[in-house]
A and B are shown apart, each in its own frame.
Chain A
Amino acid sequence: MVILEAEHLAKRFGPVTAVHDLSLTVAEGEVVALLGLNGAGKSTTLHMLLGLITPDAGSIRMFGMDLARHRTEVLSKVNFAASYVDLPGALLVTEVLDAFARLYGLRRPKARVAELIELFELEPLARRPMMALSSGQRTRVQLAKALLNAPRLLVLDEPTANLDPDAGDRIRGLLGDLARTNGSAMLITSHNMREVERMCDRIHFMSGGRIVAAGSAAELAGAYGAADLEEVFLKVARG
């Protein structure tokens, strides 16, 4: 079942065309990647899908609803984490998660927070203020926040950028499980090609605000006569 359907999205910032005529679908349980050079338009696309940026043109339907018209309903089924956002530094980890559990209108916020603290192995950090955590530890809290509402679509903008290889590996495993067991779909950007190869069912390459190639990692490698995704990236990016 298709849960996200974006058609002909466009966004300009003054003279810069950030996104141009971009269409994208995500099905239930599918893990989809947006790849591309810095400035290709990945974050702009994600932000339009999250209602942070109003598209100049095009339509966004999620769970069969128009995003602009059913913002609260749509966003209660979605969640987000990114390397460039942070959580309130003065609050304890549990307080942050508790606050967001309520912002997502959860029935039993405390119980859900406890579950996620366990899932992300945050027990030793639970009573520490956010600002005392390392950036990788904060990323884990952010990902826990992103799973609070058991989102049917998880939007992740370079989620593992701050993680050490061990934490990164475990988080990837955890997110993979989540997609398989809960049917949560994911839309991910990343500059880590191995991560994308491992996690994503479908990959979209963006360049200059457009999707220029799409397919599974294997399909793309075949089409570009490349050994791996890294090579595909370089070939696509360098024309």
Chain B
Amino acid sequence: MAETPLQLQIRFFAVLREQAGCSILKLATTARTPAELYAELQKSHALTFPANLLRVSVNERYGEMQTPLTTGDRIVFIPPVAGG
């Protein structure tokens, strides 16, 4: 039996926003963790930034790439930023 897709809101920051070509994306996905979601987005949006250097926020709180997602979650992928 196919899993029910999750409805998620994704926000891209800095270099990821440039690669994705948008700030906010709403999608239905079978991904169940930020790690799975990012792997999916890497393919669909040609994101080259390595997953192991990302921080992720789930519903305005830092989470882990393995944090389980539920429908309606707001996800932000945050790469390191250093300019000044």
Tell whether A pairs with B.
no
